[in-house]
Amino acid sequence: MKRSLPPIAVILLSASWTLASPGIDTDADGWLDTFPLTNDKIVPSGNSPYFPLEPGSFVVLGELRPAGSEFVLITVLHETETVDGIRTRVVEEREYRDGYLLEVSRNFFGTAEKTGDILYFGEDVDDYKDRRVAGHSGVWRAGRDGARAGLFLPGAPAAGMKYYLE
């Protein structure tokens, strides 16, 4: 039987590749840190086989066990939000441990129409303790305090790629 990697494994692997394309600006270590967003229209939906930005799509990562569980529910919401002038799709992550909600993050993504690249524009985070919001760790948005959008997943991943996510 032929087996393939699950989509999340492909995403994680692609995040560690280094950039090998000629004509792309990289820093001294070869990391891609700027993206020519003006050359492509960014839209809030997309049909990447590895990270579909279609409302209603979801995935559960982790496992449920009788003696404790830890999992993350990731849902592509029907909501959009404008971040740094770009209309983005809201992707919600809910992290649970032993039946308790630990964190809710609302992540903002867009798809480059021409290349299929998925760009990450930031996140709002609610951290929970004792069933109440206890903080907002990791909050950031492109266009605020010098933050820029990052490449979450290239439309055509290739061996040798590496890029900044956030």
Return mean pLDDT, the chain.
80
* Residue 136 banded pLDDT, cuts 50, 70, 90: very high
Question: Residue 2: pLDDT above 50?
Answer: no
pLDDT-derived band at 144 (thresholds 50, 70, 90) equals very high
Q: What is the pTM of this model?
A: 0.76
- The pLDDT of residue 134 is 95
CA angle (140 as vertex; 136, 141 as ends), nearest 5:
140
pLDDT for the residue numbered 90: 98
Question: Where does the pLDDT of residue 6 fall: very low under 50, low under 70, confident under 90, or very high at 90 and above?
Answer: very low
Taking only the tens place, the pLDDT of each residue in 40-63 is 799 999 988 889 999 999 999 998
User: What burial letters (b/e) apply to 39-77, b meaning 16+ CB within 10 Å?
Assistant: ebebbbebebebbbbebeeeeeeeeeeeeeeeeeebbbb
Domain ranges for the chain, please list them.
7-153
Q: Which amino acid is at 17?
A: W
pLDDT of residue 13: 36
> How far is it, in rounded angstroms, from Cα 97 to Cα 106?
19
Model confidence at 150, pLDDT cuts 50, 70, 90, reads confident
